[in-house]
Each structure stands twice: as structure tokens, then as C-alpha cells.
A and B are shown apart, each in its own frame.
Chain A
Amino acid sequence: MRLPDVERGDSLRARTLIRLITAASGIRLPDAARVAFYHRRFVGPTFGTWTQAVMRGPSAWTVGERELMAAMVARWNSCDFCVGAHRAIAVRGVDPRVVAACLTDYRTAPVSERLRATLAFLETMTREPDALGAAHARAALDAGVSRAQLADAAAVAAVFNVITRYADALDFTVPGDAELDKAAGMMLKRGYG
């Protein structure tokens, strides 16, 4: 269910930002940004800081690979908004055919064994967290993933196991392809903070 207070903004600052960004971009401000502007005394700034560090901070994974991981978590959690939004960003750094193949079946997609093994770890983490154990991590490490890389990827999955859930619980509007592409450009330029 959509919450009207989130949609319109709960402060003069939020309402002004929604109006200005909408006017400048020419698209409806995506609901993810409206949530980021909402109730700033609560978790928003803290969660934004972690998300920015995870998605744009130092990592052996490229921004495109991290966005692809976000889209995969969204796929496993059946979140249409996040699949669309993060696929649109991922294809700006990863071959669109590879992104499409991954979203269909990462096990057969033309990706490195490191990425494939990492996605297998993230899938279990997302779908069966109680079953996740050292053997899953060891399989990724044996494929050549460093512990730091695996931790960075797990952080992407953790953050998007939060985001995909509120996107669905708050019934985010799924933009069309042209709007998703425009929003992807904004996300690469402005980040998540």
C-alpha cells in the first residue's frame, strides 16, 4: 500500500526537492528517492550512507557488477521495481546481453567464474539464509573470490534485501523503460547518499 505522506513529502525540504528534481529531470521522481527524502530523523541518513559505501565506495567489484548483484537480489525477491531500476544502471557498465543472461539464469550466463560463484553465495543468502554456511563461502573463495570481495558482495545483498522489501511493501510505481534509463543516469551521477 502506498503511503500518501511518503508520496508528497513530509517537510518543506522534501517537497521542494521532489518538485525541483522532477522539473529538472522531466520524469516523475522515483519512489525510492521519495523514501530517501522521508522522515529524515529516522533511518534514512544512516541507511543512505551504508548504501552509498556499498554501491559506490571502494571495492574490487565494478559499479556495474554491484548493480547487477542488486538486480539479481531483486529478481530472487520478485521485486519488479528494483529489477528494472538496477538492470537499467547495470547495463551502463556491463554488456546488456550479459545482464539479460544473468537475470535469466546466472549459472549459464557468460560471466567469470568468480562472479558466478559469488552470485551462488548471494542466492543462498537471499533465499535460504538459515542454510548459508562456511561451505558456500568456501566455494566462492575456491573460485578465486577474495574474502574482501565476498564481504563487499554480501553487503550489496544485505542492503538490497532491505530495499526490495520496502519497495514492494510500499507498492512502488514501476517506471517505463525511458524513465528507468533517465533515472539510471541520475543514479550514476548522484549516487545513493
Chain B
Amino acid sequence: MGPTDVHGHHATALRTAATSPGATIDGRLRSAVLERAAGGSTPLPEPYDALARQIRDAAYRVTDGQVAAVREITGSDKGAFEVIMCACIGAGLARWDAAVRAIEEAGDAAP
């Protein structure tokens, strides 16, 4: 088992939990939000895209209006919560994936 594998299964489980059926909003939308916040180039319909990009780039600048627009279109606090969490998880897992690549490549180059 490699040094990143200890955490890798937790990262996989988190990605699965965020996008699996059974939540309030459609799993395909949750997957798309996660991928967009992870740096994906495919824009989402608004108002999802603005919130996903804001959370990816500078979450401390998220506005009440951005969250309220998603709250309105999803129709519930739970729907808005799911969009926010998927965007945050996308941004976090993109960083985890980058770290894993860097550590593995450095290890491969070691004498």
C-alpha cells in the first residue's frame, strides 16, 4: 500500500457520497457542480455556475445573492446545501488529486 492510499479510499468514498442517488437534487447536477468546482471547463446553467466558480476561486467572496439564487431554483435549504457541499468537495478533491500526483511522481524519481 502506498502512502497516499491510506487517504485515497476516503477521498473516493466522499466523491461517491456526494454524487450517489438518494439526495434532494439530481445526482447528475451534483456531479456537474463537483466537476466544475474541481476545475472542469464545462459551464453549468446559471445560477449554479456562478456559485460553483466562486466557491472554487474564493469562497470568502460568496455573496448572499449567489446562495439565494441557488436556494430559489432548488426550492429548499437542503438543495442549496447539496450544491454548496458538492462545489466545496470538488475544490478539495482537485487539490488532493494534485497532491497525490506530485507525491507519486516525486517518489518515482527518487533514487
Contact = CB atoms under 8 A, between A and B. Distances in A.
Given A3-B77, A165-B91, A155 B106 contact: no
A79 B62 CA distance: 12
Interface string A85-100: 0000000000000000
For chain A, what secondary structure do more than half of its interface residues adopt (helix, strand, loop), or is it mixed? helix
Interface residues of A, number: 57
B85 interface: yes
Contacts of A6: 77, 81
Given A1-B68, A162-B91, A50 B103 contact: no
Given A50-B7, A165-B55, A4 B77 contact: yes
For chain B, what secondary structure do more than half of its interface residues adopt (helix, strand, loop), or is it mixed? helix
B10 to A, nearest CB: 4
Interface in A96-128: 121, 125-126
Interface in B13-42: 13-14, 16-18, 22-23, 39
Given A49-B10, A121-B102, 19 more contacts: A5-B78, A42-B17, A50-B13, A53-B7, A54-B7, A54-B10, A125-B102, A134-B109, A137-B102, A141-B106, A141-B110, A147-B103, A147-B106, A151-B3, A154-B99, A155-B96, A160-B92, A165-B87, A170-B67
23 contacts: A1-B62, A46-B14, A47-B14, A49-B10, A79-B60, A121-B99, A125-B95, A125-B98, A125-B102, A132-B99, A132-B102, A133-B105, A134-B109, A137-B99, A137-B102, A151-B3, A151-B100, A151-B103, A155-B96, A160-B92, A161-B88, A169-B67, A169-B88
Interface of A: 1, 3-6, 10, 38-39, 41-43, 45-47, 49-50, 53-54, 77-79, 121, 125-126, 129-130, 132-138, 141, 146-148, 150-152, 154-155, 157-171
